[in-house]
Amino acid sequence: MTEKPDTPPNIPLRKGFLRPFVRWLAIGVALVWSLAAVVLLAARWVDPPTTAVHIQRRLQSWIHRTPYHERYKFIPLSQISPNLQHAVIAAEDARFYQHHGFDWHEIQIAAEDDLEGGRTRGASTITQQLVKNLFFGTGRSVLRKGAEFTLVPVAEFVLGKRRILEIYLNVVEWGPGIYGAESACRYYDGTAARNVDRQQAARLAAILPAPLKRRPERMNNYSTLILERMSQMGW
Query: Could you please report the per-residue DSSP string of 150-206?
Result: HHHHHHHHHHHHHHHHHHHHHHSEEETTEESHHHHHHHHTSS-GGG--HHHHHHHHH
Q: Is 146 helix (H, G, I), strand (E, B) or coil?
A: helix
Query: Is the model's pLDDT at 121 over the cut of 60?
Result: no
CB 148 within 8 Å of CB 136: yes
CB 151 within 8 Å of CB 172: no
User: Which range (8-12, 83-87, 151-155) has the least confidence?
Assistant: 8-12
Q: What Rg do the C-alpha atoms of the chain give, in angstroms?
A: 23
Query: Is the model's pLDDT at 105 over the cut of 60?
Result: yes
User: May I ask the CATH class of domain 18-232?
Assistant: mainly alpha
CB 90 within 8 Å of CB 230: yes
Q: Is 92 helix (H, G, I), strand (E, B) or coil?
A: helix
Closest CA to 124 of 91, 157, 154: 91
| Position 113 confidence tier, pLDDT thresholds 50, 70, 90 | low
Query: Is the model's pLDDT at 123 over the cut of 90?
Result: no
Q: What is the pLDDT of residues 8-65, one digit of tens each?
A: 555 455 556 677 777 777 787 788 888 889 999 999 999 999 999 999 999 999 999 9
Strands across the sheet with 173-175, in order? Answer: 71-72, 178-179, 173-175
Q: What is the pLDDT of residues 183-233, one digit of tens each?
A: 999 999 999 999 999 999 999 999 999 999 999 999 999 999 999 999 999
| Position 119 confidence tier, pLDDT thresholds 50, 70, 90 | very low
Name, in order, each residue with C-beta under 8 angstroms of 97's C-beta and a sequence gap of 6 or more: 89, 161
pLDDT attached to residue 111: 64
Cα dihedral value 122, 226, 128, 100, nearest 10: -110
CB 185 within 8 Å of CB 191: yes
